[in-house]
Structure formats: C-alpha cells, structure tokens
Amino acid sequence: MRGLPVRAAGIELFARWTDMWNGELDLVEQIMAPEFVLRYAQPGASDYDYIRDRTAFRIQIARFRDQRPDLRFTPQGSFVVEMDETGTGLVASPYGARFTDSGGSVIDVSGTDILRTTGGFITEVWSVSGGPGGRSFYAAGELEAAHGPRD
C-alpha cells in the first residue's frame, strides 16, 4: 500500500480484507494490527467477541472457511475512505457474499464493514449483515447497472 494515493490505499486495504475472508490467511499478518477489536453484529458471530490477536483470528477464519468452503465475499457499491497519508483513519464498503445452501440454491447476501486503521493496519472492525438468512442489497445485475466498474 505504500506509495499509493490515500483513496487507492484504502480501497486496496478493503480488497485485501475481503481476500483474507476468502481464504488468503497469510494476509492476517499483513493487514491486521498485532492487537485489534472486532465488533460483529450479525447473528451467530459471538465467536469474534473475544478475538484480539492475529493468531486467534487466523484460526477462526480457517474454521469459518472449513464450514463454508464455497462462500465468496466481494466489495459492492461505493467505498468511503477517510484516511491520512500514514494509513490512519477509516475505510468502509458494502460487501456481497455468495454461497450454495444445503438445497443447492445459490444465495446472495450483503453486509457492510467499517475498518479503523492505524499506520496501515486494521485496529478495529464493525461488521453488520443478515447472516445466511439475510438478503442482497442488489438484485441480479443491478449493481453493475447502477455503479458501473468499481472505483
């Protein structure tokens, strides 16, 4: 992220956050501060309440991925980046998640993540979604039609 314009650095950090949740676990050490706070409001997310370090987070994400191997996260909509040149500030974006349920139906749900950063590392996260029973912010094809290519 060093050398990127501030907005681009924030968007890149959010993309790496999403990649981490998609199974690129080496990113935990690259984007998470040594100590951080997770604030997850979605149903069934209480396991995250007490995670404060990279090792525990990496283990939890691996467990989560084992339970939902086909789940894919992607940023959706617009980014909000309020960060300074040191990588300190906030980055927020809606996201989409797609998975196949036990009946074989493809399910799309959405949420929003807000990342607080210090020195380019994530120090606090607020995450809200409807969980597996939620729904998408966008109908099929609506996101591309409304926003065009991602910024």
Q: What pLDDT was estimated at residue 43?
A: 84
CA distance 128 to 57: 18
CA distance 99 to 73: 9
pTM confidence score = 0.89
CA distance 149 to 66: 31
Closest CA to 95 of 133, 137, 33, 67: 137
Q: How confident is the model at residue 93 (pLDDT cuts 50, 70, 90)?
A: very high
Q: How confident is the model at residue 137 (pLDDT cuts 50, 70, 90)?
A: confident
**141, part of any domain:** no
Q: What pLDDT was estimated at residue 2?
A: 58
**150, part of any domain:** no
Between the alpha carbon of residue 2 and those of residues 21, 43, 53, 129, the distances in Å are 22, 36, 23, 31
**121, part of any domain:** yes
Domain interval for residue 22? 6-131
CA distance 69 to 88: 33
Q: What pLDDT was estimated at residue 55?
A: 98
- Domain CATH code at residue 76: 3.10.450.50
**146, part of any domain:** no
